[in-house]
Amino acid sequence: MAEATVNAVPAEPRARVRKTNLRLWLSASWIAIVVLAALLAPFIAPHNPLEQDLLLERLPPIGFSGYEAGFFLGTDSLGRDVLSRLIYGAQIALTVALVAATAACAFGSALGLLAGYFGGWVDRVVSRLIDIWMAFPPVLFSILLVAVLGTGLTSVILAIAIIDWTRFARVIRAETMVQTRMDYVQSARIGGATRLGTLVSEVVPNVLPTVVALLALEMGVAVIVEAILSFVNLSISSDSPTWGGMIAEGRASIHFAWWVLVAPLVVLFLTVLSFSQLGEGLKDQFDPLAR
């Protein structure tokens, strides 16, 4: 009986690992599909996303009465292919996600590391700066920045990076403070390592898993912020295929062509959810306690 009890104990951790891996692989698989679609857009998109044909307006997707061969997800009110616009819209969404999130990550993580490791006046200055920055509502602040900087992809990326660096700074500061109190840091200092050398060689590698998880989460945030800005026509040109712009157009014609709204909503939801779950999965995967 005692042997059976001992053998039954590891079952829960193994089940948790399988669940974590499944979440990680499902989210990574969807993101991989979106990335491949964006990279191969000129080759796999069935039509030109900007090509208009009023004779083909509001064609339903495949499986519905009135479907036209070649327009798998139907067309919008200007006769543009919805699937092609979704594929090319992935290029814009992923560009913003990668560049804006990386910029916010680099700046915020650097400040968080310095504040958490050195403490003192460095920590006080960074903490006050974070508090001031977070007093502004992020979405309204991003709209204000884009309105000041002007519309365009560069302005959107700058606005997201300027706003969301605080997310990294707060978390990395707290994680760095925890790591700094660990015995291995004290051992490195006793062994003759400089403070900066200890930060680079000892603290940064142990904080890196948290940075990677936050970066994945931030990419999802960047995608949805870009969609919001596109929805209110503050991103790139309204003619360009963006998921937010497609949602705005679909909202106006939902009673006549529901697929124009539903298709980008589903893709946006799955992409943001996948980035979120990828971040959580990476965090669990790297966390020694979770493993």
CA torsion, ordered 253, 254, 258, 260, to nearest 10 deg: 50
Total of domains in the chain:
1
Q: Which amino acid is at 221?
A: V
pLDDT for 118 equals 87
> Is 268's pLDDT higher than 60?
yes
> Is 145's pLDDT higher than 60?
yes
Spatial distance between the Cα atoms of 67 and 74, rounded to a whole number of angstroms: 7
What's the predicted TM-score (pTM) here?
0.84
| Inter-residue contact 116 to 94 (CB < 8 Å) | no
Spatial distance between the Cα atoms of 42 and 14, rounded to a whole number of angstroms: 43
> Is 285's pLDDT higher than 80?
no
pLDDT for 287 equals 59
CA nearest neighbour of 210 among 94, 112, 100, 107: 112
Read off the pLDDT of residues 191-220 as tens digits, 9 standing for 90 and up.
Answer: 767 777 777 777 888 888 889 889 999 999
291 within a domain of the structure (yes/no): no
25 within a domain of the structure (yes/no): no
10 within a domain of the structure (yes/no): no
> Is 8's pLDDT higher than 60?
no
pLDDT band at 168 (very low <50, low <70, confident <90, very high): very high
133 within a domain of the structure (yes/no): yes
> Is 188's pLDDT higher than 60?
yes
CA torsion, ordered 31, 33, 37, 39, to nearest 10 deg: 70
Residue 197 dihedral angles phi and psi, to the nearest 5°: -65, -40
SS3 (DSSP) at 81: strand
pLDDT for 9 equals 44
254 within a domain of the structure (yes/no): yes
236 or 1, higher pLDDT? 236
Spatial distance between the Cα atoms of 31 and 271, rounded to a whole number of angstroms: 7
56 within a domain of the structure (yes/no): no
> Is 288's pLDDT higher than 60?
no
> Is 224's pLDDT higher than 60?
yes
Domain span including residue 274 = 31-38+71-286
CATH code at position 265: 1.10.3720.10
Q: Residue 238 has which token pair?
A: 């309204």
Handedness of CA 156, 142, 267, 248 (dihedral sign): negative
59 within a domain of the structure (yes/no): no
49 within a domain of the structure (yes/no): no
Read off the pLDDT of residues 76-104 as tens digits, 9 standing for 90 and up.
Answer: 888 899 999 999 999 999 999 999 999 99
> Is 49's pLDDT higher than 60?
yes
Residue 7, judged by CB atoms within 10 A of its CB (0-12, 13-18, 19+), counts as exposed
pLDDT for 182 equals 79
pLDDT for 238 equals 66
DSSP character at residue 235: S
Handedness of CA 85, 45, 50, 275 (dihedral sign): positive
pLDDT for 7 equals 47
Q: Residue 265 has which token pair?
A: 């909503």
